[in-house]
A and B are shown apart, each in its own frame.
Chain A
């Protein structure tokens, strides 16, 4: 008999209740329990960062949290970054403009990590951005487009 718990999690502003097996990761719950497949699982051991989401506003690796640990908490995934009306988050606009993605697999993790980072560090240097995304692996872009996008988004976000 599998060990399960009832949980209530608010994801991108919407409350969800579910009965989950306790060994299920938060990432797998989001993807397969809720069908929010924007968050990607790249390594399942907490290094690649593709699975990054925000829990109560802090960027965390969803492969290293159990879904039951998110009970009563607020989760933001990449699907929740744009506005309700579809207006892209400044980071999403900037990634688009600066070719900050190629295959797109690391991108949701990059976006959520940077969204949290820029909120707490609104005017970072390039060095600081590179260190901030050192917990997110990209195999395609060589990072430069991502860094340029982050710096551009920071400016935009400060301006507004």
Chain B
């Protein structure tokens, strides 16, 4: 299982990378390599050019702006898990990342790579949907911001032009007292989730003031359960409310494949939405 021969490029700046993308039509971008390399080895992709981003300056690292995280696209998943601001301000991210592959893959895998690869079962897209993250792309004409809701175009295809580079992801904070729950079901530790649920809650004075529920693995893009979110606002964070959310989840459109039926995905969505909300409520201050 060896890749086809290709011309290898290792640009030093985002501008160089963008220029290479513009120049070479049949090019693949190499970030962490944990998704691209298997595809190269299996010859599922046969590019003429590989553009390695690992040496590109300025697109990795985490900045706390006070109201949001700005994460360079080439930030390693491992570094996200260890970053103090991520742990403090967006604790659902490190918790979810425990389920992403294995520590060896997290040592190389990047947040940008995962978001561009856009596997339906991947955890990071699910989280970005919950957060309404904003993705910044650089092209020959400059930079543009893309809200995550507009990011997935089709199965494993993001809204990224052929000569655009994802450089940054902005994750706006929730309140300091917010609760979070991340629950997924995978056959084995580290496997892609059949269904993953990210739940964020803010609770004030015993009622839910804000809710986000994102379901990954059901469709080509993560689904925000907006109907359930709306129903939760103003409700008490109790078992009844969460069972109602679960029933809404049971009704989502879920895909079917050779391994897992849509009915089972729906069933999992219901079970996991309930569990994620319970977790989030337990962690939200202001629940009592």
Which of B10, B108, B190 lies in contact with A60, CB distance below 8 A? Answer: B108
Count the B residues whose beta carbon is within 8 Å of the partner chain — how many? 31
What 0/1 pattern do residues 107 to 147 of B give for CB contact below 8 A with A? 11000000000000000000000000000000000000000
Provided the pairs A44-B1, A45-B42, A135-B190 are in contact, do residues A61 and B105 lie with their beta carbons within 8 angstroms? yes
Of A65-73, A77-85, A99-107, A143-151, which stretch is located at the interface? A65-73
The reply to whether B6 and A131 form a contact with Cβ atoms under 8 Å apart is no
Q: Does A49 contact B (CB under 8 A)?
A: yes
How far apart are the CA atoms of A69 and B108 in the complex, in Å? 11
Count the A residues whose beta carbon is within 8 Å of the partner chain — how many? 30
Which of A3, A60, A63, A69 lies in contact with B41, CB distance below 8 A? Answer: A63
Which residues of chain A (7-31) have a CB below 8 Å from chain B?
21-23, 25, 28
The reply to whether B6 and A22 form a contact with Cβ atoms under 8 Å apart is yes
The reply to whether B190 and A134 form a contact with Cβ atoms under 8 Å apart is yes
A64 to chain B, nearest CB (A): 4
Which of A25, A66, A134 lies in contact with B8, CB distance below 8 A? Answer: A66
A125 to chain B, nearest CB (A): 14
A116 to chain B, nearest CB (A): 8
The reply to whether B104 and A52 form a contact with Cβ atoms under 8 Å apart is yes
* Residues of chain A lying within 8 A (CB to CB) of residue B108: 60-61, 64-65
Which of A21, A25, A44, A49 lies in contact with B104, CB distance below 8 A? Answer: A49
B-side interface mostly: loop
A35 to chain B, nearest CB (A): 19
Q: Does B203 contact A (CB under 8 A)?
A: no
* Residues of chain A lying within 8 A (CB to CB) of residue B189: 131, 134
* Residues of chain A lying within 8 A (CB to CB) of residue B101: 135
* Residues of chain A lying within 8 A (CB to CB) of residue B2: 23, 25, 28
Which residues of chain B (158-211) have a CB below 8 Å from chain A?
188-190
Q: Does B64 contact A (CB under 8 A)?
A: no
Q: Does B58 contact A (CB under 8 A)?
A: no
* Residues of chain B lying within 8 A (CB to CB) of residue A5: 8
Provided the pairs A69-B54, A134-B189 are in contact, do residues A46 and B107 lie with their beta carbons within 8 angstroms? no
Q: Does B234 contact A (CB under 8 A)?
A: no
Shortest Cβ distance from A44 into B: residue = B1
Provided the pairs A23-B4, A131-B189 are in contact, do residues A65 and B104 lie with their beta carbons within 8 angstroms? no
- A residues with a Cβ closer than 8 A to B are 2-3, 5, 21-23, 25, 28, 44-46, 49, 52, 58-61, 63-66, 68-69, 113, 116-117, 131-132, 134-135
- What are 13 contact pairs spanning A and B, CB under 8 A? A22-B50, A23-B3, A23-B8, A23-B40, A44-B38, A60-B107, A60-B108, A64-B37, A117-B103, A134-B102, A134-B188, A135-B101, A135-B102
